[in-house]
A and B are shown apart, each in its own frame.
Chain A
Amino acid sequence: MTANGWLQILFFSLAIFAVAKPLGLYLVAVYDGRVRWLGPIERGVYALSDVDPDEDQHWTRYAGSMLLFSLATMLLTYAVLRLQHLLPLNPQHLPAVTDRQSFETAASFTTNTNWQSYSGESTMSYFSQMTQLAYHNFVSAAVGMGIAVAFVRGLARQSAGKLGNFWADLVRGTLYVLLPLSLVFSLVLVHQGVIQNFTPYLNLTTLEGAKQTLAMGPVASQEAIKQLGTNGGGFFNANSAHPFENPTPWSNFWAMFLIFAIPSGLVWMFGRMIGNRRHGWAVWAAMFLLFFSGVSTVYWAEARGNPIHATAGVNMLASATQPGGNMEGKEVRFGIVNSALFATITTDASCGAVNAMHDSFTPLGGLVPLLNIQLGEVIFGGVGAGLYGMLAMIVLTVFIAGLMVGRTPEYLGKKIQAREIQMVMLFALLSSLIILGMTALSVILPAGLAELNNSGPHGFSEILYAFSSAFGNNGSAFGGLTGTTYYYNTMLAVTMLFGRFGLIVPVLALAGFMAEKKIVPESIGTFPVTGPLFVLLLIGVILIVGALTFFPALALGPIVEHFLMDAGRLF
């Protein structure tokens, strides 16, 4: 670990802090319908699709609209991928994507997961990448933001039962937030060297006289929204490690910034919309502390490196002339600290883009990304998904605090009763059921074990990571698990769909129930949701719920591997 490394972490932290308020203010205005600078386009979209943006929807109708829209986009993507060979903008003449791969990819991009068991440059035509995958990056993110805003409305309103209009939230989030920010930052990325063209792959002769193929494509238009919408699906197989996706330390910084920008702004927006900005900052502080602990752990583990490699005479100590640490699967321009930062950020949020291969991290360096996903990606989190996941954890925290002092728990002046807690428990328990259930099934079935790249505890970690990532709608991987079989394509697709819609429906129900309640004034017995006590209790509940659920599985994977690695054992 070096002073410069900590400075880079500090620099990033300041940027995330600085963006919270300005972006939060803008988000409040957008979702209030006060931002109108693309008014003609917005009204045109409403008119052509027959939407009344002022219709206030009950939670069931909001959820129904969301499900119908997601289904329509998923079916369209399936069709386009299956018919790719007949469609334009396919200079490499790539064939139709297989049925199982198309199903998985459609599920993956609809659910904002962007799990990719294909490699982009040899599977997807420019047409598929642009009109389907990049498009999903926009709308799946806008859907997530809409759900979060609906939840916050449920908390802020009283005796209402209505959560706003899904269609208007979708269109406004896309037009006023995602599109303009993507356009600006895409140009910044092109300036750094990210490509944006439609030329066929380039065959050239290298300086030594060998043949080399350079994959090309409209990368920049996909790159900014991939991070901004916490999608994470790479244009190329190597994702953000590929120099055409992420050429310089600056492009890497902006990528990381874009992942956390909207989640950070949404937390500020939340504080403003419920009229309690100090509560918003308390939630932000809890997220930041968890983020900082995570990145410190990964940085320490990766800078310390692998003792087995040290025996081969590798110098693990970083200096001004070499990066040190565990560089397997990492890029020299990023070094250890930016790889550790990126891995933490991408799994705190449900992004899943990677600038280094998580499979080749040290056991503890790989444990943190895995745990981040399993904690529900509430540390800033995916756009929208992070905030509504965190709010569910807050309701649970307030409930536990209420039990401890023996009073009816209330949150923001609303009583938390049985049916609210039922929804929260559904939210919290589904993850353990699906992730652990699917992992257990896969280590029993031969089809589950056939795809591993590593054996021993690391092989188990690969499977656990795959299902955690799919359920968390993250999309990063321990990439050694190839997963292009009927078994994994199907099981992971089903897991992704549960992880998205199985959580959104109880969340919207919870929001609907909260919206119906009256706000009662605070009393002396109300648990304060602003001070350090609340921040610590919230962090405690998140860690205890996550650890109780997943510690046994983590002990069998990364934890035991860490000790065996230090003992020099190979598998």
Chain B
Amino acid sequence: MPRRDASGSESNVGRDAALDTQWRSGALVALRLTVLLVLVCGVGYPALLYGAARLAFPSQAEGSLLHDQCGRVIGSLLIGQLFEAPQYFHGRPSAVAYNAGSSGGSNLGSTNPVLADSLAARAIAFREANALARDRSLPPDVVTASGSGIDPHVSPEMANLQATRVRRARTRDRGVSFSAEQLQELIAAHTLTRQAGILGQPRVNVLELNLALDSLDSNAPIHFGCVPAATGAQR
């Protein structure tokens, strides 16, 4: 009896020790593998992709940036800008005032009075600014904030509704006259269709449209040339 007791407890000790080493070796494997996989997935892979993207698609990798004649960045083709002046087409309402360093939507629910009120106010303001009838129905993108807060696009209808205002403002303030047809053509030329004929929604890139407009407008600021102060003053 005593011998069996002794051997029994001994094998228990042995089993515990074996289990102990199993856990310890498992923990060591886990630590080593963690470090190795961080090197492969968290360092090697992004670096490899960085190199490949720079070689294959450098412009996109840098953010599809748009430059003026002096080489200064004036925006990104993909990121919407805030337009409030009457001579420009305006984008959608934004919950973050087009701050591309802090993207986001309103997160207001369907039964939130804040949303209902701001929608109604935006509808009235848009109709007034564009001299539309008080009961003119509006496409939803006119009054709703986007998910990103920096949506670069509006619907073709929202662009068309602004054409008259933009034309009048250019004539009044700049003395540059566009015909109504000219503006319609410009909007049509900058309307993106569905990709592959199926995917997505027809849309107009507001920044691109406004740049095209300015390039036809000899009095627009972009034609005033480069301001040499930036480089000149440093020397």
Binding site for B on A (CB under 8 A): 4, 7-8, 11, 41, 45, 48-51, 61, 64-65, 68-69, 71-73, 76, 119, 121-122, 130-132, 134-135, 138-139, 167, 170-171, 174-175, 179, 182-183, 186-187, 190-199, 201-202, 204-210, 212-216, 218, 220-222, 236-238, 241-244, 247-250, 252-253, 305-306, 308-309, 312-316, 319-335, 338, 354-357, 359-363, 453-454, 456-458, 461, 478-480, 561, 564-565, 569-571
Contact = CB atoms under 8 A, between A and B. Distances in A.
A314 B136 CA distance: 9
B138 A247 contact: no
29 contacts: A65-B29, A69-B30, A134-B45, A138-B41, A167-B29, A187-B52, A187-B53, A196-B50, A196-B54, A207-B83, A213-B99, A214-B79, A218-B46, A236-B103, A238-B150, A241-B148, A242-B148, A248-B195, A252-B199, A312-B123, A313-B136, A315-B137, A322-B156, A332-B203, A333-B200, A359-B109, A360-B106, A561-B110, A564-B111
B13 interface: no
A336 B116 CA distance: 20
Contacts, number: 408
Given A238-B104, A313-B135, A329 B33 contact: no
B216 interface: no
Contacts of A321: 139, 155-157, 160, 202
B76 to A, nearest CB: 6
B105 A479 contact: yes
B201 A332 contact: yes
Given A50-B25, A330-B147, A333-B203, A313 B74 contact: no
A253 B50 CA distance: 23
A191 B104 CA distance: 24
Determine chain A's interface SS by DSSP, over half rule: mixed
Contacts of A332: 92, 141, 146, 151, 153-155, 201, 203
B34 interface: yes
Given A8-B198, A243-B78, A480 B107 contact: yes
A386 B167 CA distance: 56
Given A45-B36, A243-B150, A195 B60 contact: yes
A278 B146 CA distance: 44
Contacts of B202: 320-321
B167 to A, nearest CB: 18
A334 B140 contact: no
Contact of A210 (B65, B82, B112): B82
Contacts of B175: none
B63 A359 contact: no
Given A182-B45, A214-B79, A332-B153, 16 more contacts: A48-B32, A131-B42, A131-B43, A170-B33, A207-B74, A213-B100, A241-B148, A249-B194, A306-B110, A321-B139, A322-B140, A323-B141, A354-B147, A457-B111, A570-B111, A571-B111
